[in-house]
Structure 1
Amino acid sequence: MSERPHVSSYASITEAVIGFAHLLRQEGWTVGVQETQDALVAASNGTLDKPDTFKYALKAIFCINKEESERFEPFFERFWGKRKGAVKSRMT
């Protein structure tokens, strides 16, 4: 089993947001271009400095039903959570 992607494996926050959208799509979420663009806007609006705000913004964007909402946080934490070597980056 391959390791799940993590924010630290991307060169920019833009790439990481797109990678997270791709991960959710692979896991069965209905994530399209609009949701990905909305997530990029959320990331660029200062929510990255407020982890809970960023998490709930992405949850509101990506989750369309109760099941997705209940499954979201573990995916978010694994992807965006702290990991040795994690880096902070600006939007590019």
Structure 2
Amino acid sequence: MSCLAGTEHLRIVEQIIHSRDSSVAHTVVYDVFAGIGPFAVPISRRLRDSGRVLANDLNPEAYKWLCINADLDRGKRHAQNLACYCVDGRAFIRDAV
């Protein structure tokens, strides 16, 4: 991942966080094709107790690194609002939503 992609990821994370409906007490973000978590992990960090992130990737290697990244982030910030899945995107949407 390039540093340019990293700044683009941060810009999109900020856009998602700031576009939340303030009248909704709890936000849920579904990342169907999460990869290793470049969006899911920082979004869960920013939401903290006011939301939950469900992140999915069908690729077992990407899922493994998504879980590792989530665990590393939990260790630093004690975030417990990120759940990781390794299923087909259609099944994820059908079952998670």
Higher strand share: 2
Higher Rg of the two aligned structures: 2
Q: Fold match, TM over 0.5?
A: no
Question: Which structure ranks higher in relative contact order (CA pairs < 8 Å, sequence separation ≥ 6)?
Answer: 1
Query: What TM-score, normalized by structure 1, do the two folds share?
Result: 0.36
Higher helix share: 1
